[in-house]
Structure 1
């Protein structure tokens, strides 16, 4: 009897190539759901709106809102078209440049637009603003409004951020990465923004919280979609997405509240360092001679009666400021500190106006015409709010004007000449009376400490303020003593001989001479040094006053009240910082009066009592044997050169190491997590768990190496597709330990781990150092580890219940025992 014929098995379907599989996956990924388009776009808008708040202190103008809306609308439109039509990156980039060209001038350079259309000059300003606008933005005082093309940096940054963020939110597999452009936008606003904190803490916390909440929600939604596609059935949105998202949101909100509270309750005590605090300013006052050094030039016979300025609208007893000086080095009073780090040394361009909301005083509108005066320092009045230049050179002078708000000093690069006209809007601060000033306490303003101060300053303070109690009373007593004991002489013409200058030797001579003789240059410097000795932060102000403090008044004529200042009207005063009224202007100069004869002031000789002890020999010491001056004795010894170099380099070394540590920290955490996982697997409680852990370690090594290991693949399928021949033995050992007739023992587990170490070592053979490092820090095994496999296993097990006993889901016979079939794939995640 012949054997029955068996029909040949149908040929197995060929496995599609990996490239075909990837293309199919890409086609599926191209189907962007409307929910993702709308939801991702709305979240990106929220992130960009919060991040743009950091730019508001820079502009404080409605033009910023117009630029922001334009950039967001056109950027979103370009990104959505790219997502729906699947346009390549190059096309999206070209469309972004085209939108920037068409809308940039009306939105960011409105002064150069022809309605809604750009102009040639506007396009030139637009594209130059992309490269040069950043430098201009950090060298100008804030806010800038729509001045020139300074809106371009914000507009281009927001446009690029919108296109990038919306594209990532609607096209990328990791939607949460779309929050990075908003973080970059916020960081850029902080870097080019003001040095004070303003609302940066609240904005930073809010932006970070929104980004984290979105990341948590998107991650859970992506996981729910993957599970639904795997099991072929919908999952509960509330349990899979909403519940964990709400828990994460609550945690983030609690942390945000705590962080915001700590930032507001205990803010940093020092201003933050931003780009404008470290950038090299185009105007450095240290490059120019101190204007106080040229004081006597105004008093020369040829200049004393020469007109310098014509001012309209000046209030009664008004004072016109030329410059404010806060740094004394024993030779001259100048601006900017010894190293340029003083607040008085930072001059910025004024785009529209200066913020004077915190100044209490009277607002004045003053017109100034330069008629004889020349120099880089621009005469101003009070605390400047706005300046408008007129005449043919108005545009050039407007672009060359720099201002220091802390001292109220203005400057024009190239200087001002005859015929310069400008209008000032300023606030003249309210001044306390002498009775109120006597109760004043020193303020906390930071000014450079005076150096090489003569000893006569302290002696004069002690002798004139011995009867005063408070610091304010000492200040008033010192000023009164100067006015009572001093006499004015410029040393020109028929005046009594009086040396010019205000160095330490000249101030020593003024305070120790039998006849205190000098002019406003010396009295202002002496009063400033004595006020600083009392404890008040002090600075010297050079300017023009009615009659130059001589008791006369400058000529005023015309219906508009034009005040004409001549060279003899030049004067110098001091400003002291008080805790109650801020900076207060004080006139320390004596009134002009007749100078007594010099012989009447000759001091009487002082006779010394006789002493029994003979005096020491009066041999004059050699110059080399004399004691060093007091300033040198108080100066600490300089450390050696190698120590100075080490101390100078130490902060940079520490900063570099800290930066490297921060960069390498995530990779170190990844390596540590993998080591902990390996140790937990190798030290499992049962031998079977250690064997399956060894296989899991090998499978994770394949994932980190970059191999495609399907989640549903069996151990033997993984071993066949793995490089090398070590995987086949591992798969056989693991299957024997899990499905064998007897339980695995400890020796089998040790053999399994030894074989696993050998197989993993073979995977590293022939690979470069860079490839090994990438394998060590790869996170593929952490993303698709045992938890993901277990979820798929549970899904397959649920579907397998519908298959008849004895057969697997694919129709093959299941060779496992019933008890092992009931255990499910949780014990053996590789045999799914």
Structure 2
């Protein structure tokens, strides 16, 4: 029974099913601490995006990316999912949660992804980085720019946590250096937030010191863990070491934070990518807007360019602003110019900041519907605050719009075409009266230079400005003189007098030299700007349209084109000037015909027979031109052959020889005269070894002077080269004593070293033979010693 019972019991035990393995894997406490540290460092790093995005609008996307990436990596390890499948799940989670976290405005029902949000997650991850360094901070539009902190946090957290839960626990020989690999992701995230930011950091000193302190404490703790795994240590010793290290790091954090706040470098010395990257729009790739002025007045005079709804009486439409002149045309400055210049364009954001030099006036909103206008420059009003496009028209160029906040102009790189409909919200510049401006000096701005200006501009600037005391009076005098002395003509057939197009130096000379002055806005605005810049006033030329407002909707044609000037006043802004006259009845130039006096009639001889000229034989006469008397000296052919055969080899031989000889003289002069006496004594040995090396001997590179002397003596004996009395070793000992014995080295010891070196090298060169000495003359070596 007992046997049967035992056998049955054994069978029952064998029949018992094996225990199932747990679904979830477990992680050690050390790994959980690693995850917490990496997550905390990543949160500290993404806080640096605040200056670029502002108002903590990035926080939801950045923190959400860290949670999504780290959570997928952690769940993949706990569920024992392979890392390739975990990567696929992470990508799915990126698109599933990215809409609600980074692009909530494009989500369905606030959380579900849409086609627009999915494409935005892809575009933002690829192109959002380049747009983030060209957009005006804070980054609010286009919407896909918000994907940048989301994808950065997602990727860094995914990789860092994956390494913490899969790679680091399985390292055979763990060390603090291997643990430091996990810090690469948070460090890169910290650097990216700095580079994409602005010159105004977000608690840079505190965040940097805190980041370094946490990383150091974690590495020290990790090192202690590795040491304990190898050799068991008393718990009290470990605790004291950890507390001591934490106290030191905490003190360093506090001191560093305080010192960083007080001794922080100025914001101007901070390196950010947005200050170094040239915006993708280059105005110089397009023709100067002012150069096409006559196209509007002639070809597009009656063409309906666009309609404006909401335009007020007397309000002008701004098209382009130019402040660079090269003697040919006024043009928009290059993108690399100053931020106040006309070429500093940036991507369009949801809000457009006000210009740096501006006094706000009346605000207005207008809707513009493009008809026959086609160009890269976008018609706007005043200084644009907001710019929205009607997506129902099929054109939404928001991603290709570039704005210049300093000039109030905008451009569309994809082109402004028929059917484009957009709304402009703008604020006008407040213009004080001349009495108030009399107390205001011109602004001190750095604008692109004007070059190739004709001399007549300077003369007329002084003449027209007169003896006024203030800048506004001088500018008004110039404006008044041009309007009163000039006449308006667009050069059309219907104009009373002709007018040549252009704004170059020759056209300015023609305008200001001839009487009367005849031209249109292109010439008068150019002349006024050149004269104002000649007087030292920051001036720019603006091209736009000045239509007559009648009713709610105004149709703008090519005949409404105009140009004016703006001068910057300190603390006020850019004050407009309109120097173009309105008179068109310019007097025509009348040429008086000379009075004809009747002459007495004289009987003419009969015409000669032209055939008689053929009977005359032409006779060649000697040319008396003195230039031909002087015969040109020419070398015979054989002389050229001799020069080529003999001269070229001589040049090929002597030119390198002279050049190398000059280098050797320079080398010797510097060794013999430059530096203290001990160095000059050592230079004698260097000169000796270089000479032996140029003779073909092998000088050891890594050897003492005594070792090198022994090697040279051995080679000299083998090649039948003489060695001075006492050998080269006496010279080596003499130089070593001068360098290392610490005594005062006088000039006699220096000269002894050089004399001995020259004597030894001279004997060796003489004994080497003519061929070997000639080859040595073409070699150049320079010993270099630490």
Q: TM-score scaled by structure 2?
A: 0.63
Tell me which residue corresponds to 2:43.
49
Rounded Cα–Cα distance in structure 2 between residues aligned with 1:338 and 1:98: 41
Tell me, yes or no, if the aligned pair for 1:326 and 1:334 is still in contact at 8 Å.
yes
Which of 124, 144, 149 is the equivalent residue of 2:144? 149
For residue 70 of structure 1, the aligned residue among 60, 64, 74 is 64
Q: Secondary structure at the match of 2:320?
A: strand
- In the alignment, what sits opposite 1:248? 249
Q: Is the 8 A contact 1:61 1:145 kept in 2?
A: no
User: Contact 1:296/1:490 (CA < 8 Å) preserved in 2?
Assistant: yes
**Cα separation, 2, equivalents of 1:497 and 1:224:** 92
- The answer to whether the aligner puts 1:187 opposite 2:226 as a matched pair is no
CA displacement 1:329-361 (0-9 Å, x = unmatched) = 111111233988885334443242322386542
CA apart distance, 1:596: 5.4
Write the deviation string for residues 697-756 of structure 1: whole angstroms up to 9, x where unpaired.
xxxxxxxxxxxxxxxxxxxxxxxxxxxxxxxxxxxxxxxxxxxxxxxxxxxxxxxxxxxx
CA distance 1:275–1:425, shift in 2 (3 Å) = same
d(CA) in 1 for partners of 2:57 and 2:387?
Answer: 21
> 1:198 aligns to what SS in structure 2?
coil
Q: Does 2:573 correspond to 1:567?
A: no
Residue 276 of structure 1: CA displacement?
Answer: 7.2
Alignment of 1:180-219 (within 5 A): 180-193=184-197, 196-199=198-201, 202-203=203-204, 205-219=205-219
Distance across 2 between alignment mates of 1:296 and 1:255: 65
SS of the aligned residue for 2:144 comes to coil
1:545 equivalent to 2:546? Answer: yes
User: Does the CA contact (< 8 Å) of 2:359 and 2:572 recur in 1?
Assistant: no
For 1:137-536, list aligned pairs within 5 A: 137-138=132-133, 140-145=135-140, 147-167=142-162, 172=168, 174=176, 177-193=181-197, 196-199=198-201, 202-203=203-204, 205-222=205-222, 225=225, 230=231, 232-235=233-236, 239-263=240-264, 266-268=266-268, 272=271, 274=273, 277-279=276-278, 281=280, 283-300=281-298, 303-337=300-334, 343-356=341-354, 360-361=359-360, 362-390=362-390, 392-492=392-492, 493-536=494-537
Shift of 1:531: 1.8
1:239–1:536 distance in 2 versus 1, CA, 3 Å: farther
Deviations 1:381-425 (A, max 9, x none): 122222222375443444443333332222234533444321111
Preserved CA contact (<8 Å) 1:221 1:240: no
Check conservation: 2:495, 2:584, Cα contact below 8 A. Answer: no
2 CA distance for matches of 1:438 and 1:588? 19
**How many angstroms apart in 1 are the aligned matches of 2:64 and 2:267?**
35
Partners of 2:161 and 2:30 lie apart in 1 by: 13
Q: Is the 8 A contact 2:440 2:569 kept in 1?
A: yes
Local SS of the residue matching 2:581: coil
Q: Which deviations, in whole Å up to 9, do the C-alpha atoms of 1:15-61 show, x marking residues without a partner?
A: xxxxxxxxxxxxxxx98554762x54454444333322333344447
Q: Hey, what's the Cα distance between the residues in 2 that align with 1:378 and 1:417?
A: 10
Task: Report the counterpart of residue 706 of structure 2 in structure 1.
Answer: none
Q: CA deviation at 1:572?
A: 0.6
The answer (yes or no) to whether the contact 1:110–1:146 under 8 Å persists in 2 is no
What is the TM-score normalised by the length of structure 1?
0.60
The runs of 5 or more residues in structure 2 that have no matched partner are 1-24, 169-174, 592-786
Distance change in 2, residues 1:322/1:76 (3 Å): same
CA distance in 1, matches of 2:206, 2:517: 64
Within 2, Cα distance between the matches of 1:197 and 1:504? 42
2: CA distance between counterparts of 1:592 and 1:131?
58
TM superposition shift of 1:158:
0.8
Q: Deviations over 1:230-287 (max 9, x none)?
A: 45431267742333323333334433433444445x3327x85626743561x43222
Helix, strand or coil at the partner of 1:556? coil
Task: Give the drift of 1:217.
Answer: 2.0
State the partner residue of 2:129: 134
Matches within 5 A, 1:695-734: none
Deviation at 1:593, TM superposition (A): 6.4
Within-5 A mapping of 1:106-145: 106-115=100-109, 116-119=111-114, 122-138=117-133, 140-145=135-140
Structure 1 49/534 Cα, relative in aligned 2: closer, same or farther at 3 Å? farther
How many Å apart are 1:571 and its aligned residue? 1.1
CA distance in 2, matches of 1:51, 1:445: 37
3-state secondary structure, aligned to 1:387 = strand
CA–CA distance in structure 1, aligned partners of residues 391 and 102 of structure 2: 28
The structure 2 residue matched to 1:93, chosen from 73, 81, 87, is 87
- 2-side partners of 1:511 and 1:321: how far apart? 27
Q: Distance in 1 between matches of 2:142 and 2:161?
A: 30
Partner of 1:579: 570
Match of 2:268, SS state, is: coil
Q: 1:72 to 1:458 in 2, by over 3 A?
A: same
State the Cα deviation string for residues 544-574 of structure 1 (Å, max 9, x = none). 124xxxxxxx1411xxx33333333211112
CA contact (8 A) 2:100 2:113 kept: yes
**C-alpha distance in 2, partners of 1:207/1:257?**
12
Quote the offset at 1:187 in angstroms. Answer: 2.3
Deviation sequence 1:288-317 (CA, Å, 0-9, x none) = 2222112123333x6445443322222342
Secondary structure of 1:344's match?
A: coil
Residues 283 and 335 of structure 2 are in contact (CA less than 8 Å); yes or no, is this contact kept in structure 1? no
Residues 488 and 581 of structure 2 are in contact (CA less than 8 Å); yes or no, is this contact kept in structure 1? yes
Residues in 2 aligned to 1:499 and 1:316: alpha-carbon distance in whole angstroms: 31
- Between the aligned partners of 1:139 and 1:394, the Cα distance in structure 2 is 26
**Contact 2:393/2:419, CA 8 A, preserved across alignment:** no
How far apart, in 1, do the equivalents of 2:377 and 2:57 lie?
Answer: 32
**How far apart in 2 are the matches of 1:371 and 1:378?**
13
Per mean C-alpha deviation after superposition, the further-off stretch among 84-93 and 563-572 is 84-93
Deviations 1:478-507 (A, max 9, x none): 333333433322232133222211111111
Cα 1:243/1:31, change in 2 over 3 Å? farther
Contact kept in structure 2, 1:441 and 1:580, CA below 8 Å: no
Who is 2:763 aligned against? none
Indicate the RMSD between aligned Cα atoms, in angstroms.
Answer: 3.5
Query: In 2, distance between residues paired with 1:386 and 1:332?
Result: 31
Query: How far apart, CA to CA, are the structure 2 residues paired with 1:149 and 1:260?
Result: 34
CA shift, 1:456, in A, is 1.4
Name the structure 2 match of 1:603: none
